[in-house]
A = this chain, B = another copy of it.
């Protein structure tokens, strides 16, 4: 059993060490071969550690002090230029130094991407890293991976093609699916469908021998379970993801309104409570918390900024899973083979 080392940006997210420390300990208890390096304000981190129940797993925590932290609304370029001793930067450096195999942060997404890209660099043959997340589907026990979710706007067809390769490799590596089904997010309105970006990507994917391309998919089929990987430009993907979040709020609003109408509906609400909680839990983005910054020479996982301990722990599990399956190496090999083929 190989020892895995992961760094945690302990100051990132809306709650900092109050969430990152309990989450880290939760994961350490479950993964005996894991070591975590918590980076940030040492005093604050130690205080949180001291609140936890003692045990062997505490020996597998190392605390590394960092004097700064990246603000959630800081411009990525400013964070990259000025925050050399931020918890985020120091945590990412540990991968570069070969001390850790992955980094998890709930901090500023743009800054995390900018710093990770600067510190780790992209894999050879990969032009742009992308953000990949996991979403639920209406097919029992089936999830779907979607990328890019906002790392890149105005992506070219070649970029989207690379996203397809990376998504495909990640899914076969993590979920053990051979030839995962890759779809391209499009609309059904236009003459010969979609914009130039999508049409050009479609012809690249159709010609590809390494990708199991199943064609276009529309927004209403994202959750259909028909595809294993959905590829789109970061602008479009981000709008889709956020619209899903907005829809959830809309449903909750109408649900609350519906159950508050009279005493009978209030009684029904009481009885329906466990079921509604079940729905909320099933749809909860925290359950699938942990987006991959894919295409880098190292594993970087972005947690939702508002994640609580259980959700942040899921992001760490996602990192463990990617380390165990050596995702960047799989992508590197695939891209290399593909480049050789096309020469």
A139 to B, closest residue via Cβ: B253
The quantity of this chain's copies bound in the complex is 2
* A219-B235 in contact (CB<8A): no
Does A268 have its Cβ within 8 Å of any Cβ on chain B? yes
Partner-contacting stretch, out of A116-124, A184-192, A335-343:
A184-192
Q: A215 at interface (Cβ–Cβ under 8 A)?
A: no
Report A271-305 CB contacts with B as 1/0, cut-off 8 Å: 11011101100110000000000000000000000
Q: Which of B190, B249, B275 contacts A258 (CB 8 A)?
A: B275
Name the segment of A54-62, A99-107, A150-158, A167-175 touching the other chain: A150-158
The listed residue (B190, B224, B239) touching A153 by CB distance below 8 A is: B190
Q: How many residues of A contact B (CB 8 A)?
A: 71
The distance from the CB of A307 to the nearest CB of chain B, in whole angstroms, is 16
Q: Is the interface of A mostly helix, strand, loop or mixed?
A: helix
Chain B residue at minimum C-beta to C-beta distance from A255: B279
State in angstroms the CA–CA spacing of A332 and B320 once bound together. 60
Name A residues whose Cβ lies closer than 8 Å to a Cβ of B: 75-77, 109-110, 114, 136-138, 149-151, 153-154, 185, 187-192, 194-196, 198, 218-224, 232, 234-236, 238-251, 253-255, 257-259, 261, 264-265, 267-269, 271-272, 274-276, 278-279, 282-283
